[in-house]
A and B are shown apart, each in its own frame.
Chain A
Amino acid sequence: MSKTVEKNSKFLISENGLEKTSPKKRLEVLKTYKIYIGGQFPRTESGRYYIATNNKGEQLANVCLSSRKDFRDAVVSARNAFKGWSARAAFNRGQILYRIAEMFEGRKAQFIEELVKQDASKAQAQKEVTLSIDRLIYYAGWCDKYQQIFGTVNPVASSHFNFSVPEPTGVVAAIAPQESSLIGLVSAIAPIIAGANTCVILASETKPLCAVSFAEVVNSSDVPGGVVNILTGKPSELFSQFASHMDVNAIVYCGNDELIQKEIQQKAAGNVKRVLAYQDVNWLSEKGQTPYYILDLQEIKTTWHPIENIGSGGGGY
């Protein structure tokens, strides 16, 4: 970095590489942007990083360039967390999603600041943050309701009690929308975990800051470690691993690159993964939220149970 970087940046670096300091000014404490795996914030095991910049090319932060190994570790965490998370009462999951929103609300200013750094206007940033919080509230409310909307009691012709309920698919790998830093990520994560799945999600490559801060919000919100795992890095480097991992049950791809989508679909066939490709969704609109996103990551289980036939001759009442 040879040029002097301007005021907006956290890194005030002069041409000789030393920080500009003045005797009176307090030195700002910079944040280390780490990844989030199994409820902890490690650096990437690979030791690699990339530099997140704004549109002007100004350096915003050093960000972990997650490796395949990080992804595999995250899948192990997500798998371990799945049993407990899916066994929680739906009501409890709803409370935890609501808790994420509460923690989030308290840190609005930080997210707005990060969005502004990543080229959003103040107004846009405010809108995106509040909408992201409200989206979590929306899905918090769905946690104990989608089962009633999408489940059925089936009037079979034989003497059986038969019903179908949605159950989580399992571990979901997701590639978050690349064009936004926050709303896309939150809109992808919320229906996955509201539906009792656990996830490993790759943040926007170019706008990664909010993803890491969101991980901190999640971490302080009673979400068990491993339910949400957030990586930063390059989709181009990791998508194929996301699609081919044999212990991942479904993959969500929020992007418009048709070649990537095709390869994901091909590799997903290795263990019959469910592939959800959300193209051209405006996550800032009403269309960015629906219980059908929850349903996309559910399996329908049908249970048969015999009904005793005694007394059937004369009606059961």
Chain B
Amino acid sequence: MDDLELLRRFEPIIHFTNGEHFFPMDVDRYVAECSLWETRPDQPSDLLIPERGLTLQKLAQPHPAPHGSVHYLRFVESLSAFEAARFLVKHRGGFKHSRGRLARVGLTSRLVDALFSITLILRGRVPGGTAAAARDAYSKLQAFDERYVYYGRVVRQGGFICLQYWFFYAMNDWRSSFHGVNDHEADWEQVVVYLAEDLTPQWVAYASHDFSGDDLRRRWDDREVKRLGEHPVIFTGAGSHASYFSAGEYMHEVALPFSGPFTRVMRVLQKIWRSTFRQVSVASEETVSGALVIPFIDYARGDGLKIGPGGDRQWDARLLPDTHDTAPDHPQAWAHHYRGLWGLFARDPIAGENAPAGPKYNRDGSVRRSWVDPLGWAGLDKVTPPSSVAATLEEGRAALEKRLASAQSEIDKKTSQLRILGLEAESMINVPHFESHYPEHLQKMTALSQSIEALHRQTAVDQALLESLANYGAELMRGHRLPVRSHIKTAHHPAPAGAEQLGRLAEAWAALSLGVLILGFLMILLIVPRFWVNGLVSLVAVISFLEAIFRREAKDLIRRAVILLSLMATLVLLVEFALPLLVAAIIGLGVFIIADNLRELVG
């Protein structure tokens, strides 16, 4: 079976969300519509090849430029606000938002969301009207020749056969069309199916936002992996094109760049609060995962177009060559030779609005890990393929036995040295002129003794490991495998249905609350500036209470408020009664020690 046949045998079925505007397409037609640009550091962009003059072969040619330069494609010129509005009115329909994302989260996240929107004004961004222009251009291309394309690549690595499926979209319009995080021209997404050498599927991994390593992949027999025969079913986020294992609406949190340390401290405190004190969390769920995160919804409903075997449309598969020495005139040479961006370079310093580079490269021109190491990308580099389990076990056992033998020999050697040192030390006792050498000698003996002890400890661990490996090996040979999801640290699940059932009033309140807070605070500053602190606290309290009522969480709000009051009261008590508390603690300690000793004496 050749590579293309292999790819076709396991090709995925993608379920899109109703209202999606862009579908996987071929790069030929896209590039033909694009112009190629070059931006040198601190200089305006230069047009290298105008639109309709660019081909994939030209794209694959080298484009020398100084360090810090960026090459990028430009698919469309953005429409004016009026043109974009007219386009959107004309092409309305399809997608229906569920309850607003802001209604699903608290006031803190809304405040951070507002700050994030402000940063978009300050950062480089894809101009408004670009998504509409791209939709127009893409729909014209599809109307002329409807095609749904994936680019496949077969990598044989570490006993696995990795079937890598790359999907190219003309635009990611998540922000402008679905209230998501970002927009960018061009979008590359990937899905990998991992086969054993006998062609039985073992794992699948879907690219999804910031997930990486073990969390990306699922075992083929995991119930979460939907399949139609040998074809995995993927649910793709509207606009974002991130891939999910189940249909639904996913809350996706974006952390502000500077929020890391704060979030980490919060998580540690939360853990102590929950695990050590067995307390129910004081902070709401979005605060638990970090107060400085912005919630976005990724709509992967799967109720739209289905592409792939058994779906509404079928794939047009293209094979990507796997070697870098591909001749520049090869139809897919662009994959190796073009390191630039596949769409507008928006000059966004945190890169979210800049177009991605191709399947092989990162935005900075370095090679993507998923390209060069598809196993490591999904955390499979540490997983032994079924065909090699016996050999790897044997290899591991042999290495351990060798290490044990070597350690034993080292122990024997050092023990012998220590005994000699011991006899020497004994001979120094009662010999006056060894007074200055004796302590040094003792130090040598201590160091050697410690080193022997460390070797013994390591030997004990290695022996236990050898035994454990033998037991596990026997289980593996009997066909036993670890639980299907034991490798997953953080799994992404769709938002529960309850989260979608907030009322319209709650949604309206979510949209208004932050503005009401700001205007209310302004009024307080203007009318009673002396009481601005009390005023602000009262305002936040009233808004929080209204918020809790709309979200049907009044009871929880009262609980949280009471716990905060308890913490304040604890602080007051600690400050006021520090000395008596210290005395009480010492008395308690004394009583405990006496009781413990008495128990020993009696028992």
Q: Do A and B bind each other?
A: no
